[in-house]
């Protein structure tokens, strides 16, 4: 191929608009676009969705060591008696505890997060819940729940397992000003427990 022929092809390309410098119009571009109505089979377990060091795991592990028998006393579904199993109170406790560390104080919002957020979905573990159940549980066990959540949160914070960025109170968010170092002494922890109970 001669140099004259190469030069001639370049001239033709520029004249017909096929040179590399010519911008591609959207109608000409061949791209892969989103297909959001396509059915997918996603095979994954809940456990793989959450990192090993996630605070939700620490909360669940901590609850395995705490006496929660008082929350089971009112359950009428027992072995040998017909009826549907109750949702595990320990799951409801874990959900409210984690929600508290995230500044969530609404049962409706917590119910929504249990369907949308991996950490809440992991804590739920497929247990049937709804916002009525979450709200009723909190009302029915208000004093015991407040005491337990206060003690557990203080312990988890003292160990550095969770960071309480916001405290939910009467639908308002209050910025928490205490750092992890302030929980190192017993006197300070007891003072924080008193303040939490007052709130």
Query: HSE of 153 in the Cβ direction (CA atoms, 13 Å)?
Result: 28
CA 116, distance to chain mean position in Å, is: 8
Which residues in the chain land under pLDDT 70?
A: 1-21, 156-158, 160-186, 188-199
Q: Are 139 and 117 in contact (CB under 8 A)?
A: no
Provide the sign of the torsion angle of the four alpha carbons 105, 109, 112, 116, taken in this order: negative
Pair of tokens at residue 165 = 């960025």
Collapsed DSSP state (helix, strand, coil) of residue 175: strand
Pair of tokens at residue 83 = 């009826």
Which pLDDT does position 77 carry in this prediction? Answer: 84
**Dmax of the chain from CA atoms?**
96
Cα 32 to Cα 38: distance, rounded to the nearest angstrom: 14
For the stretch 174-194, pLDDT in tens is: 344 444 444 455 676 666 566
Q: Where are the domains of the chain?
A: 50-198
Query: HSE of 188 in the Cβ direction (CA atoms, 13 Å)?
Result: 11
Separation in Å, CA 60 to CA 48, 53, 107, 123, 199: 16, 12, 19, 7, 25
Cα 68 to Cα 72: distance, rounded to the nearest angstrom: 7
């Amino acid at each position: 191929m001669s140099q004259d022929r190469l030069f001639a092809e370049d001239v033709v390309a520029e004249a017909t608009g096929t040179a590399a410098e010519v911008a591609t119009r959207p109608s000409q571009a061949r791209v892969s676009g989103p297909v959001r109505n396509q059915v997918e089979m996603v095979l994954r377990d809940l456990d793989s969705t959450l990192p090993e060091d996630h605070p939700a795991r620490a909360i669940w592990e901590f609850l395995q060591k705490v006496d929660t028998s008082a929350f089971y006393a009112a359950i009428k579904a027992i072995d040998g008696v017909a009826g549907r199993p109750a949702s595990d109170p320990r799951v409801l406790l874990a959900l409210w505890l984690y929600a508290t560390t995230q500044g969530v104080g609404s049962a409706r919002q917590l119910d929504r997060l249990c369907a949308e957020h991996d950490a809440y979905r992991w804590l739920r573990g497929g247990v049937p819940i709804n916002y009525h159940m979450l709200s009723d549980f909190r009302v029915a066990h208000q004093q015991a729940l407040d005491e337990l959540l206060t003690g557990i949160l203080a312990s988890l914070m003292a160990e550095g397992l969770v960071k309480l960025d916001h405290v939910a109170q009467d639908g308002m968010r209050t910025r928490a000003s205490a750092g992890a170092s302030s929980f190192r002494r017993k006197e300070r922890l007891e003072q924080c427990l008193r303040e939490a109970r007052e709130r």
